[in-house]
Structure 1
Amino acid sequence: MKLTIEGIKNTAEWEAKGYSLPKFDRTAVETATKAEPFWIHFGAGNIFRAFQANIVQNLLNDGVLDRGLVVAEGYDYEIIEKMYRPHDNIGALVTLKSSGSVEKTVVGSIMEALAADSENEKDWARLCEIFRSPSLQMVTFTITEKGYLLRNAAGVMMPGVEEDFAQGPVLPKSYIGKVVTLLHERYVNGELPVAMVSMDNCSHNGDKLYAAVNEFAKEWETRGVCKPGFLEYVNNASKVSFPWTMIDKITPRPDAKIEKILADDGIEQLEPVITSKKTYVAPFVNAEECQYLVIEDSFPNGRPELEKAGLYFTDRATVDKVEKMKVCTCLNPLHTFLAVSGCLLGYTLIADEMKDEDLLRLVKRLGYEEGLPVVVDPGIIKPREFIDEVVNIRIPNPFMPDTPQRIACDTSQKLSIRFGETIKGYLGRSDLHVADLKVVPLVFALWLRYLTGIGDDGNPFELSPDPLLDECRKYVPGDIDSLLHRAEIFGVDLFEAGLADKVKEYFAKLNSGKGTVRKTLKEI
């Protein structure tokens, strides 16, 4: 059994071992896709294979679509060369159920996989051809938030950007330079409309993509290195749109336990590849069962009926509400609480923390009692139902190999949005009182305790990476007042908000000796 076109032809053998297979005529779909591509995706990683490729397969199986996907990788070309092509762009998706069972799917909806490399003449020519096609409706991205940066944190241009600015749309080197060069190709071939859709897990992602594309277009026009009018094209929403989206699906690195399940079924050549750029890819992906993709419905060249696969299309304001519901209340704050408390208590799996009676009670209180009152209901997804799924299905999923140590990364960058917005919500309402908050200030106190680097058992543990780690540790335990004043970390000045004394009280208890973290959690 091999994950190739030839290898999956023996459908009875695969189905006997519990695999769902593509049910469409692949030859016909491939021919139609190459003739009239409608969707190209940049970023050939795990989330794309587990989410976007799978929903397209479902729609192909149901006859809603007659064409498949094209994927392009603009950072790590070895993913295409060493993983996609040897397997004919076919992979396995293993959905990890909270019940402990798995659902196995052979995904074959990707019809072309290309290296977005201007020095690869064949692939680059094909990408230009795709962008010249009137049929192209959407260009989507999962390239991480860093992929949209033209400068690093110090304000220094990212590699290749300045060179791309100077040369114009000719053999670009930077990721965004490649994207904008291809968009320019679409412009000079009839000013064809298209939606440029970031599906990365970051707030207002469409604005981040637009800002990068717009800066390129502005530089090129100023320097006279592109066809005049390109900047106007980029800024004409009836020609080029940059919708906001909210994506939510946990897709961990391919897990050895899942590889064994597939190998025991008889699938060959499952070995993962670690590229020279340290990307870890395998012929399979594993992911949780729950998923959300909410998209601003702005598609100047039309769009496929992706709502038939469970995606939500709505207006920008609603996308923003869903984003805030997830990030500020219903999911991310719960994860941060479990991350810092889990590190202190010696946990190595988030799912195991949900078996801890003290932590479970506090997670529920944080979400249902303290967070929900300030959530603006987006209408399309009910906040209480979303939290129900998070608390009862998603976080406790025993198959999800997510760790508190990973989620504790960059905590100083997360507290303001994940908790500061809730505090502001309380401060802005006459019917709510900041003094009633117990778990939100507890999370802040736990983080301060976490910064000491000593677990509740009295032993040191390794702190997760964080850009402000060294700076913040200077204040703990001696000068936490100075830290609690910093609104850029907590979202508000905790003294002005009336929460500083409670944080200090909790921290004193948490930091008063071995076992006091557990004792304080029980008490609260």
Structure 2
Amino acid sequence: MKLTNDLFNQTQMWEEKGISVPTFDVLKMRENTKQNPTWVHFGAGNIFRGFIAGIQNTLLEKGLVDTGIIAVDTFDEDIIDNIYKKYDDLVLLVKLKSNGDMQKQVLAGIGESVKGSDTVRLKQLFENPTLQIVSFTVTEKGYQATAVDIDNGPDKPVHAMGVLCSLLLARFKANQAPITLISMDNCSNNGEILKTAVKDIALGWVKKGYINRDFLDYILTETLVAFPCTMIDKITPRPAKEVEDELTKLGIEDISPIVTSKNTFIAPFVNAEVAEYLVIEDKFTNSQPPFKEVDGVYVTDGNTVKQVETMKVTTCLNPLHTALAVYGVILGYDRIYKEMENPMLKTLVEKVGLEEGMKVVVDPLIINPKEFIDEVIYERFTNPFIPDDPARIATDTSQKVKIRFGETIKEYIKSDKLDVNDLTYIPLVIAGWLRYLMGVNDKGEHITLSPDPLMTQLQSKLQSVKLGGSYNGEAKAILSDAQLFGVDLVECGLASKIEELFKELIAGVGAVEATLKKYCA
């Protein structure tokens, strides 16, 4: 059994092994895609393969579309050769349920795969007026208008945004056909971020005389080029050995992960959690795919997209992740699900989210906040088959606390019904982060902390604080930083509570566990 076109001659065998396979005419779909492309996607990693390509697979199965997505990668072209073309653009998706069951499905939502360096094929695609959507999962760092792309001009783009602008210019010259550009990366206001990058490169080219201003006018005309915002939520972790072993046991050959020349660890299969959400702003310049026919995908107005994102990042998921991250590292955990087996840490996230955060959360109506957070706490975080590491989540915490905690604190301050000083568990998380910054675990041993752009600066303010030693207000310099938290925690009166909790956490070896027991037992 191989994950190639040969499986379509062995569908009964695959089904008997518990692996569902496409029922639509895959070869016909690929031919349609080549002739009349409708959707190109940049960023050929796991979130695309396991979620976005799955959306198209569902629409194909329902007979609502007849083309696939064209996958492009500008960063790691080894993926195209060794994961896409080698396996005939098929994906083996394994959804990991919390009870240990593995739901296995072959996806054929990808109609073609193209290297970012194949400018001939990419120009053909962008010059074709049938192309409706270009989407992206290139990470937040991928949306940069780099100096090299501006200096090189449209003929020699290097990075993703430069390549995109060059291709949009080709479309402009060919027919000025409308197009919708959709960032599906997990960052706030992603549509605006994408639009800014495209605009900045185009403006740079205008200033350097590479192009005239007509192209800039084209990409800034919303009826011709749209940049809807989205909110995406799905965990697609590294390929798991347990999944590889299970697939091998079923008789599937050549399924092991590889490491590319760009150090990408990737496999022909994608293991992922079951839960998935994609909320898209209803801002399309041309025909909108029937996204609403897919479970977990919502098309709505821009304000609702922002409300869903705010619900997730300020209350229902991200703050809970950070709480588990900092305490998990201090207490020596290597998996989120293991932390959730600790009743004190489980109580902590319940209190942060269900008790303190839910009092100010805005209900976006299309997704119920209580149902969402219950799924996060009791199904997603507890899933032992999602190998998520607290240390990974603790990366760049200084860049996250403003949104994950500062927004809720500000809502308490603004409220005439709530008192910010009634907060206990959000302050306990912030105090835990300060304790984490000391770089010492609860046993008093040195620990390596995750990368953070402000790490040196923050640690220097706490350098005189020692485990078991005295506290002399050193944390005030951090807690009063309104840039860091979005609000001056000293000025609003919350800092004193955080400092008292911090003193308890640094009392000595075992103080972190003792403090959690005191407040979360």
TM-score by length of 1: 0.95
Quick check: 1:163 aligned with 2:129? no
Partner of 1:154: none
Matches within 5 A, 1:56-67: 56-67=56-67
Partner of 2:202: 217
1-structure distance, mates of 2:109, 2:150? 37
**Aligned amino acid, residue 27 of structure 2:** T
- Greater shift, 36-45 or 7-16, is seen at 7-16
**Offset from partner CA, 1:74-130 (integer Å, 9 cap, x none):** 11111101221111111211101122211001112211100011xxxxx32121111
Partner of 1:245: 230
Q: 8 Å contact 1:8–1:14 — kept in the other structure? A: no
Q: Secondary structure at the match of 1:71?
A: strand
Measure how far apart 1:238 and its partner are: 0.3
Quick check: 1:431 aligned with 2:417? yes
2-structure distance, mates of 1:464, 1:103? 33
Q: 8 Å contact 2:150–2:162 — kept in the other structure? A: no
Quick check: 1:293 aligned with 2:281? no
Partner of 2:468: none
Q: Secondary structure at the match of 1:298?
A: coil
- Greater shift, 473-482 or 285-294, is seen at 473-482
Quick check: 1:231 aligned with 2:220? no
1-structure distance, mates of 2:208, 2:435? 53
Q: Secondary structure at the match of 1:173?
A: coil
Q: 8 Å contact 1:161–1:173 — kept in the other structure? A: yes
Q: Percent identity?
A: 48
Partner of 1:141: 136
2-structure distance, mates of 1:200, 1:35? 28
**Aligned amino acid, residue 214 of structure 1:** K
1-structure distance, mates of 2:325, 2:155? 46
Quick check: 1:360 aligned with 2:346? yes
Q: Secondary structure at the match of 2:491?
A: helix
**Aligned amino acid, residue 216 of structure 1:** I
Partner of 1:103: 103
Unaligned runs of 5+ residues in structure 2 are 466-471
Partner of 1:511: 506
Partner of 2:438: 452
Partner of 2:458: 472
Q: Secondary structure at the match of 2:100?
A: coil
Q: Secondary structure at the match of 1:72?
A: strand
Q: Secondary structure at the match of 1:523?
A: helix
1-structure distance, mates of 2:328, 2:248? 33
Measure how far apart 1:227 and its partner are: 5.1
Quick check: 1:174 aligned with 2:159? yes
Q: 8 Å contact 2:311–2:369 — kept in the other structure? A: yes
2-structure distance, mates of 1:288, 1:506? 35
Q: 8 Å contact 1:41–1:69 — kept in the other structure? A: yes
User: Residue 112 and residue 415 in structure 1: after superposition, are their counterparts in 2 closer, same or farther (change >3 A)?
Assistant: same
Quick check: 1:195 aligned with 2:185? no
2-structure distance, mates of 1:10, 1:28? 18
Unaligned runs of 5+ residues in structure 1 are 118-122, 152-156
Q: 8 Å contact 1:188–1:227 — kept in the other structure? A: no
**Offset from partner CA, 1:287-312 (integer Å, 9 cap, x none):** 11001000001111111101101210
- Quick one: which of 480, 483, 493 aligns to 1:488? 483
Measure how far apart 1:228 and its partner are: 4.6
Partner of 1:120: none
Partner of 1:401: 387
Matches within 5 A, 1:367-406: 367-406=353-392
Matches within 5 A, 1:74-153: 74-117=74-117, 123-151=118-146
Q: Secondary structure at the match of 2:92?
A: strand
Q: Secondary structure at the match of 1:338?
A: helix
1-structure distance, mates of 2:476, 2:33? 61
- Quick one: which of 238, 256, 260 aligns to 1:271? 256
**Offset from partner CA, 1:371-409 (integer Å, 9 cap, x none):** 011111111111111111111111111100001111111
**Aligned amino acid, residue 163 of structure 1:** D
1-structure distance, mates of 2:64, 2:99? 31
Q: 8 Å contact 2:150–2:205 — kept in the other structure? A: no
Q: 8 Å contact 2:145–2:201 — kept in the other structure? A: no
2-structure distance, mates of 1:227, 1:185? 14
**Aligned amino acid, residue 94 of structure 2:** V
2-structure distance, mates of 1:325, 1:228? 40
- Greater shift, 221-230 or 87-96, is seen at 221-230
Q: 8 Å contact 1:2–1:8 — kept in the other structure? A: no
Measure how far apart 1:251 and its partner are: 0.6
**Aligned amino acid, residue 211 of structure 2:** C
Partner of 1:22: 22
Q: 8 Å contact 1:96–1:286 — kept in the other structure? A: yes
Aligned-residue CA RMSD (Å): 1.2
Q: Secondary structure at the match of 1:126?
A: helix
Measure how far apart 1:8 and its partner are: 4.2
1-structure distance, mates of 2:315, 2:109? 35
Q: Secondary structure at the match of 2:359?
A: helix
Measure how far apart 1:226 and its partner are: 2.3
- Quick one: which of 288, 305, 317 aligns to 2:290? 305
**Aligned amino acid, residue 503 of structure 1:** I
Dislocated runs of 4+, deviation >4 Å: none
Measure how far apart 1:220 and its partner are: 2.1
Q: 8 Å contact 2:64–2:290 — kept in the other structure? A: yes
